[in-house]
Amino acid sequence: MSVLSSRTGRDRQRYDNNFRLVSGCIPYRLIKDVETEEDTSADFVNKLEVLMVSSPNRHDLVFPKGGWEDDETVLEAASREAMEEAGVKGILREVSLGVWEFRSKSSSLEDECFGGCKGYMFALEVTEELEDWPERENRERKWLNVKEALELCRYEWMQRALEEFLRVMEEEGKLRTEEGTVQDSPKLEECQIDPWYCFVVN
């Protein structure tokens, strides 16, 4: 049984123009290949894996996301959801991948009345996988390459977020290739939003 717990309820939920605000992330890691002598942007993208989780009582896969509450920033909400749903911590990129409006297939009557959801998505470079996390009993996590993730992603808006993530990472791969070396992701001084969840970088 997890010693941690997930936030529940809608008492602190944020809304904007009748949209429920949601924050989430695409957790990812870079697979190291010591045999590769040089890296191209294509090689860089092929080494990417993203982490998806199953929905409770379903077998389809999603990225961690949930309600953005009024006592936290959108970045804190994204990193909290990653820990609660997927049991991962890491380095969160401060610039969002985008904002998408959608209606959740599992939306409540409250969501329908308010007009749906507006989701902010970020990229999270995973640095730690927890063995125990709040929703471990209800969710399975799975590492996939980007192509597999696109095929298995439950929501169309999440597919679009993943496509934007791929575009951003391809650009980073090109920059790394032009520099002639693959280095760790550039980081600001480690600006902690909450030491339990993750660090934030540009």
Residue 163 token pair: 């496509």
Q: Is 1 domain-assigned?
A: no
**CATH, residue 61:** 3.90.79.10
Q: Is 107 domain-assigned?
A: yes
Q: Is 186 domain-assigned?
A: no
The count of structural domains within the chain is 1
Q: Is 2 domain-assigned?
A: no
Q: What is the pLDDT of residues 9-40, one digit of tens each?
A: 567 899 998 899 999 999 999 987 645 555 56
Q: Is 194 domain-assigned?
A: no
Which residues span the domain enclosing 102?
A: 15-34+41-177
Comparison of pLDDT for 103 and 23, the residue scoring more: 23
Q: Is 67 domain-assigned?
A: yes
What pLDDT score was predicted for residue 111?
Answer: 47
Q: Is 195 domain-assigned?
A: no
Q: Where are the alpha helices (DSSP H) in the chain?
A: 41-46, 74-81, 109-114, 146-152, 156-179
Q: Is 190 domain-assigned?
A: no
